[in-house]
């Protein structure tokens, strides 16, 4: 999976051969309507090719419109969406996939993820329900509705469990990843299994911009804290998904291919454990 990433258009190859862009636009809390549509159009115009959404974000319709109005060929874009917590199980997952296809108004989804492994409501049967959702997702991939399937917020035990019945291995595990919480136990296990690490909240939701180390490292390269955080992600071969609804910030967040953080500075950033918020415990979610 190791490749050199030099520009927005560079990709990694997932374990099923599908190519995924090295950076994407996040859209959690991007309001549905013109804001979401224009954010997607701006991002695509700036060179972003991966858009990350979810049924739970409530903005799939506008994201689909943004994609269509962007003027870029659908085949050159990579759209991720996710199965929400009230739709686990075989039948409901099939319905959720069809609903996302309909809302996005696309012929296929590039990457479809189980959003959370063990939410309230499925707790007594999480392993069985994830296996059933996975079976539906595998069938949808074989049917051509989805190009790659994966998971999100999965820990080792959730991965181990799904692999007991899976015919297709997850291609991606999307997790909370930034210098405040590297989740090394999960990222190393993903790597061992050939599962790509996608980094959500790569900016620490803004909570790392004033951190002394981040500010200091940014000065070494004449870059902003946001750019250093995203470059850190790239150098770990995580796919960062920075969210913004502002064109100037999207542009700033994409200007990370003209410098490299030194090993010493990478190590300084690696040790920021706990300065922003930590990842939500997937076994302790009540949403
Ligand atoms: N699978 C999962 O469970 C989860 C997935 N995600 C995905 O990951 C994406 C990113 O994570 P998210 O939690 O949104 O947080 P991020 O770490 O991407 O931070 C987003 C925040 O930073 C601001 N921001 C972005 N760029 C800049 C900049 N250059 N300078 C200053 N402020 C900036 C944004 O504001 P503004 O928009 O106003 O610019 C927003 O408030 C989500 O949008 C979603 O797609 C997120 C959480 C959970
Ligand atoms: O954004 C997502 O994808 C999430 O699952 C979480 O942010 C989640 O919805 C949450 O944190 C609710 O407080």
Contact partners, residue 82, CB within 8 Å, separation at least 6 = 53, 54, 55, 56, 112, 113, 114, 115, 152
Q: How many Å lie between the centroid of ligand 1 and the Cα of residue 44? A: 17
Ligand 2, atom 2: nearest CA belongs to which residue?
Answer: 28
Residues (pLDDT < 50) of the chain are 1-2
What is the Å distance from ligand 2's center to 25 Cα?
16
In a domain, 46, yes or no: yes
pLDDT of residue 3: 55
Question: Roughly what angle, to the nearest 10 degrees, separates helices 225-235 and 263-270?
Answer: 100
Transcribe 147-188 into DSSP letters.
EEEEEES--HHHHHHHHTT-SS--SEEEEE-BTTB--HHHHH
For the annotated catalytic residues, the residue numbers are: 57
CATH number at residue 151: 3.20.20.100
In whole angstroms, what is the distance from residue 264 CA to residue 270 CA? 10
Query: With a 6 A CB cut-off, is 201 part of the ligand 1 pocket?
Result: yes
User: What pLDDT, on a 0 to 100 scale, did the predictor assign at position 63?
Assistant: 98
What pLDDT score does 277 carry?
A: 80
Predicted pLDDT of residue 2:
45
Question: Could you tell me if 179 and 229 are in contact, meaning their C-beta atoms sit under 8 angstroms apart?
Answer: yes
Of 260, 199, 273, residue with least CA distance to 227? 260
Alpha carbon distance 213, 70 (integer Å): 38
Residue with the smallest CA separation from ligand 1 atom 48 is 200
Residue range 119-146, pLDDT digits in tens: 888 888 999 999 999 999 999 999 999 9
In a domain, 265, yes or no: no
| pLDDT digits 0-9 by tens, 166-200 | 999 999 999 999 999 999 999 999 999 999 999 99
- Whether 77 is covered by a domain: the verdict is yes
Report the first-to-last Cα separation within the chain, whole angstroms.
34
pLDDT the model gives residue 183:
94
- How many Cα atoms sit within 13 Å of 64 on the Cβ side? 18
Answer yes or no: is the C-beta of 204 below 6 A from any ligand 1 atom.
yes
Structural domain contains residue 2: no
The closest of 253, 180, 176, 264 to 217, measured between CA atoms, is 264
Tokens of 246: 């502002």
Ligand 2 neighbours, Cβ below 6 Å, are 28, 54, 115, 280, 287
Domain that holds residue 111: 11-206+238-246
d(CA 29, ligand 1 centre) in Å? 8
- Asked whether residue 93 is domain-assigned, the answer is yes
Q: How many domains does the chain have?
A: 1
Q: Which ligand is nearest to the CA of 119?
A: 2
Threshold 0.90, pTM exceeds: yes
Residue 271 structure tokens:
């040790």
CA of 285 from ligand 2 middle (Å) equals 10
Q: Is residue 284 part of a domain?
A: no
**In a domain? residue 274:** no
Look at residue 251 and tell me if it is in a domain. no
């Amino acid at each position: 999976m190791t490749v050199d990433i030099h520009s927005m258009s560079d990709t990694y190859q997932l374990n099923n051969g599908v190519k995924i862009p090295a950076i994407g636009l996040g859209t959690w809390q991007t309001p549905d309507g013109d804001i979401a549509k224009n954010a997607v159009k701006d991002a695509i115009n700036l060179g972003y090719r991966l858009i990350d959404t979810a049924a739970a974000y409530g903005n799939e319709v506008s994201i689909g419109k943004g994609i269509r109005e962007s003027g870029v060929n659908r085949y050159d874009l990579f759209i991720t969406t996710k199965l929400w917590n009230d739709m686990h199980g075989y039948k409901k997952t099939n319905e959720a996939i069809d609903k996302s296809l309909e809302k996005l108004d696309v012929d296929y989804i590039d990457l479809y993820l189980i959003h959370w492994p063990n939410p309230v409501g499925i707790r007594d049967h999480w392993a069985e329900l994830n296996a059933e959702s996975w079976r539906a997702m595998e069938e949808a991939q074989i049917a051509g509705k989805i190009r790659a399937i994966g998971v999100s917020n999965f820990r080792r035990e959730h991965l181990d469990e799904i692999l007991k019945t899976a015919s297709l291995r997850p291609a991606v595990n999307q997790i909370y990843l930034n210098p405040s919480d590297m989740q090394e136990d999960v990222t190393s296990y993903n790597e061992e299994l050939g599962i790509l690490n996608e980094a959500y909240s790569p900016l620490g939701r803004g909570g790392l911009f004033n951190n002394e180390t981040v500010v200091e490292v940014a000065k070494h390269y004449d870059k902003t804290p946001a750019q250093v955080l995203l470059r850190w992600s790239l150098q770990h071969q995580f796919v960062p998904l920075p969210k913004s609804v502002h064109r100037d910030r999207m542009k700033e967040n994409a200007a990370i291919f003209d410098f490299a953080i030194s090993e010493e500075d990478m190590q300084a950033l690696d040790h920021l454990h706990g300065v922003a918020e930590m990842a939500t415990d997937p076994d302790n979610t009540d949403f």
